[in-house]
Structure 1
Amino acid sequence: MRLWKTILAAAVLALAAGTSAFAARTDLVIGIPLEPPHLDPTAGAAAAIKEVLYANVFEGLTRIGPNGEVLPDLAESWTISDDGKVYTFKLHTGVKFHDGADFSADDVKFSLDRARADNSVNAQKGLFAAIDKVDVIDPATVNVTLKNPQGSFLYNMGWGDAVMVSPKSAATNKENPVGTGPFKFQNWAKGSSITLVKSGHYWGAPVFLDKVEFRIVPDAAAYVPALLSGDIQAFPFFDPDSLAQVKDDPRFKVVIGSTEGETILSINNKKPPFDKLQVRQAISYALDRKAIIDGASAGLGLPIGSHMSPANKDYVDLTGLYPHNVDKAKELLKEAGLENGFKATLKLPPPSYARLGGEIIASQLRDVGINLEIIPVEWAQWLDQVFTKKDYDLTIVSHTEPNDIDIYARKDYYFNYDNPTFDKVIADLNLTSDEAKRKELLGEAQKILADDAVVGFLYELPKVGVWDAKLQGLWENAPIQANDLTKVKWSE
């Protein structure tokens, strides 16, 4: 009997030891196509910055959820004055930055005043333009007074560019980001990976993962081998052209969702001959969206005729305004005095939608007499030459910021577009909180941009995600620039 009990006890111990081997793993390697130029969401336009850090390392007063909804974040609640101008935010208490500094209303004031200052380097400074003043009431209460009511204010405060930073670490966030989020920064191996680890002192619900590595994989051809080998377990933004190789493999989950990425052929509106409406309209007629979508997004993109996502409730379908018409394009070029065509440059950043789409578009424009020199550039070069210095003729990029039609009203924006009528519509929109009126104004704004052919509107970038079938909690859609890992876990 004693021998039998000894054998049984040993079996129980062996079973217990074996069971632990099947516990859900707590590490994750995510593949991303572009390396961020730095790691401060409040000081750069590159989507890659927010895709690593938003909701993971940095948090805002509010946050945008997976369906585009506004949720509380560092502000647990808020009230709005009857005139719509004063927002009183009640903050969570006991919150600390990753370096141990306490988070309080003083940090809210610092962050918002810094973002809207004259010398601000925030890429979305317009988000804060409506703020008149920020007052600290007590450590857990802050008043934000607006110059005028703004229906989108709470949404704006959920952008990655509006996250809270500490005066003690703000100056060094580009290399060593310090936030209040559930993950803290561990390491950045330049050109290779960025590693985050679970914060041991997070104020909110603890995350499931202990460690996350964002692996930089610029070559789309490497995506499938990385997945098959298990070296990388998730690509939230997968190469559509490689989808056929994994879509029927039960080891992986394939999720096709929507983004806020208006993919456009950007035009320098003040550079001759693009300063002529007929030339820009000729380009729009020369574009065959279907061929571009088939060739650059495996047929998964949704065509657009202005700067708004088809998933948006206020979207207006203007794709019929410029049907593909080579003869009409040539006729407009003749009206512009360019019946023999002209030469221009097309600067293409690294994403495959740009490089593949650029070849197709160059061929289509060649058919109407516009001969393009294709100039591939790295992402840092694109940000410097195109976005900052406006040194370009044409380029292709997906604008993945949410609800960002107002960028065309910015006088220093790289489109170099200037239309007082459009500016007035956007100004009225910023003063309006009534949903019916906002819908009307957004419709007007879309129509003006289409009529002016400010850029060549191509398609809405699809979100093609591929990841291990045992992973749960990754976002299906991309309503904001983010890879939010707060709910991600492995099934056992």
Structure 2
Amino acid sequence: MTSTGSHPGHRLLLARTRRRLLLVTAALALTAGCATGPGPADDRAAAEGPRRGGTLRAAFAGGGTAETLDPHAANLFVDAARAKALYDKLADFGDDLAPVPRLAARWEPNRTLDTWRITLREAAFHDGRPVTAADVLYSYRRIADPAGTFRAKASLEPIDLAASRALDPATVEFRLKRPYAEFPNVLAAFGTSIVPAGTTDFDRPVGSGPFRFASFTPGTSLAVTRNDAYWDGAPHLDRVEFVIASEESARASALLAGQVQYAHELDPATARTHERGDRVRIVRLPGSSMQGFVMKTDRPPFDDRRVRQAFQLIADRRELVDGALSGAGEIGNDLFGKGYKYYASGIPQRTRDLDRARALLKAAGHEHLKVTLDTAPAATGFVEAAGIFKEQAAEAGVTVEVRVGNKDTYWKDILDGGTFASYRSGAMPIESHLSQRLLTGSTTNATHWRHPDFDALYREAQSTRDERRRTALYERMQRRLHDEGGFLIWGFSDWIVGTAPGLRGVDPEAPANTLDWARFDKTWLT
């Protein structure tokens, strides 16, 4: 007779049980002690308020010697942080992912939502020139140039830039190709900074942001200094240096050694090790990143809706969050934007159901399915999540082969390649997620979800002035995606940054890609 311990299924179950026990033990260890609270020095710093002066050194992962300060070529988080220091956008996203005015003092649509009038606030570039409507139109036309390769090009697609015009130096009239109720999201989109008209050289960039250019060595560092004439108030700091440390361990070590005062994107394990001590402060930015897998809906076996549903039912979401993210996040429901405006929170949470998953696979003719899961160390928890899901799938009779690819080319590789892959996304409005990833013409449609009737629902939502009706349309779209879509969204991870104890003003509620994330003009050193 085969012993219990030697049977493959039992060995798998025991291995998963041991892992679950380790996860629970770790969680109990975290909560067993009492967290270190603010001390007298913290109280004094809070009472004194912001201090002027000093140099902040902030460590980010970088992009090598090909880095540029052209804000329209931004792709990385360090690019966004540097652009935020040097430039401004017309709008940016608040903590709730709703657009808030920046260089645009206000915006107003016409009755049919296909023309928007933008009134600029009084602001100046670092060389003293005022920011005008001509600068806005130049910047947007540069981004949208067919010969360019700028990331924000797709975001500006709804604008008829040939027909848009400057009504006066402080007023831009944007003519749109179709009604667009959520047009302010375009004004806040990643990579849409305003530069002076005619700018082509970014070796010594001139922006309107809170800091002025000082020096730049691609792949190494950028130094900026305070702009005393900034329209939103001069920064507290004299100087900020963005230093590149591509490995997470290097960023953490530099923070612990006092070489930097801000370390971006730390691992959950690093945070767990140090958040009870007094050498660094750990700041968790909740819900900053969607975590999941994408299934190509136009390729076997995922061109069968039943297979997609089966995989969504196989996932043990809590185990994925605990194992891949060390518990630093919350479970997902196969929909983007949990907690954001328009999120369909009334859709019941999908839970694990192996019996139903097996039945769906059998009905689809895939009882003994084998699939390849593409992943790479391109983001925190990717490889770990792939390994965990492989084990979970085996319990449903599915064989998953994990293929680890090149982290530097991963996002390009999975956009059109493969059938099943690890995926994540930073914060953005739900409307932006839909328009960029789920319409037939979307340029980053990794699930290959292409349905004209779904596109029509999106267009109807954008031509609807009444917000309640628009909310109902967004819910219809999300219910469709929940039932048929190619996203298996198992979690939402906290974004983790580390700061020196003497750094103040870091907003703990700002998800990545929002206005107050990596915003150093409002920070100070004690």
Task: Assess same fold via TM > 0.5.
Answer: yes
Match of 1:400 in 2: 426
3-state SS of paired residue (2:320): helix
1:58 aligns with 2:92: no
3-state SS of paired residue (2:384): helix
Match of 1:105 in 2: 133
- The amino acid across from 2:500 in the alignment is D
1:71-121 CA distances to partner (integer Å, 9 max, x unpaired)? 3322234444455443333334462256x7664211211222333454553
- The amino acid across from 1:160 in the alignment is F
- 1:366 & 1:136 partners in 2: Cα distance? 61
3-state SS of paired residue (1:446): helix
Q: CA deviation at 1:441?
A: 1.6
1:464 aligns with 2:496: yes
1:70 aligns with 2:99: yes
Match of 1:421 in 2: 453
Q: Is the 8 A contact 1:34 1:48 kept in 2?
A: yes
1:352 aligns with 2:341: no
- 2:349 & 2:95 partners in 1: Cα distance? 32
Q: Is the 8 A contact 1:305 1:318 kept in 2?
A: no
Output aligned runs, 1:256-275, within 5 Å. 256-275=284-303
1:88 aligns with 2:117: yes
Match of 1:483 in 2: 518
Q: CA deviation at 1:480?
A: 5.0
Which residue among 330, 333, 349 is the counterpart of 1:302? Answer: 330
- 2:247 & 2:410 partners in 1: Cα distance? 18
Q: Which 5+ residue runs of structure 2 have no aligned equivalent?
A: 1-50
- 2:74 & 2:419 partners in 1: Cα distance? 23
Match of 1:179 in 2: 207
Q: CA deviation at 1:402?
A: 0.8
1:361-405 CA distances to partner (integer Å, 9 max, x unpaired)? 2332344323223213223x1233234xx1233322321141133
Output aligned runs, 1:203-222, within 5 Å. 203-222=231-250
Q: CA deviation at 1:277?
A: 1.7
- 1:433 & 1:396 partners in 2: Cα distance? 37
- The amino acid across from 2:116 in the alignment is Y
Give the TM-score taking structure 1 as reference length: 0.83
Match of 2:309 in 1: 281
Q: CA deviation at 1:447?
A: 1.2
Which residue among 142, 146, 156 is the counterpart of 2:186? Answer: 156
Q: Is the 8 A contact 1:262 1:307 kept in 2?
A: no
**Change in 2 beyond 3 A, CA 1:121/1:274:** same
**Change in 2 beyond 3 A, CA 1:266/1:104:** same
- 1:371 & 1:392 partners in 2: Cα distance? 13
1:216-275 CA distances to partner (integer Å, 9 max, x unpaired)? 334334454332211222234332122222212234333333234221212222232222
Q: CA deviation at 1:200?
A: 6.1
- 1:397 & 1:29 partners in 2: Cα distance? 31
Match of 2:14 in 1: none
Q: CA deviation at 1:286?
A: 1.7
- 2:96 & 2:323 partners in 1: Cα distance? 29
Q: CA deviation at 1:346?
A: 1.0
**Change in 2 beyond 3 A, CA 1:26/1:68:** farther
- 2:417 & 2:346 partners in 1: Cα distance? 29
Q: Is the 8 A contact 1:34 1:218 kept in 2?
A: yes
Output aligned runs, 1:413-452, within 5 Å. 413-452=445-484
Match of 1:130 in 2: 158
- 2:384 & 2:170 partners in 1: Cα distance? 51
- 2:371 & 2:282 partners in 1: Cα distance? 42
Q: Is the 8 A contact 1:64 1:480 kept in 2?
A: no
- 1:147 & 1:409 partners in 2: Cα distance? 16
Match of 1:169 in 2: 199
Q: CA deviation at 1:318?
A: 7.2
User: How many residues in Structure 1 have an aligned counterpart in Structure 2?
Assistant: 462
3-state SS of paired residue (2:191): helix
- 2:465 & 2:472 partners in 1: Cα distance? 12
Q: Is the 8 A contact 2:373 2:402 kept in 1?
A: yes
1:363 aligns with 2:391: yes
- 1:424 & 1:313 partners in 2: Cα distance? 21
Q: Which 5+ residue runs of structure 1 have no aligned equivalent?
A: 1-22
- 2:481 & 2:501 partners in 1: Cα distance? 42
Q: CA deviation at 1:32?
A: 2.4
- 2:310 & 2:452 partners in 1: Cα distance? 23
Match of 2:265 in 1: 237
- The amino acid across from 1:128 in the alignment is L
- The amino acid across from 1:467 in the alignment is T
1:381-437 CA distances to partner (integer Å, 9 max, x unpaired)? 1233234xx123332232114113312114342321112232222112222232212
- 1:294 & 1:149 partners in 2: Cα distance? 43
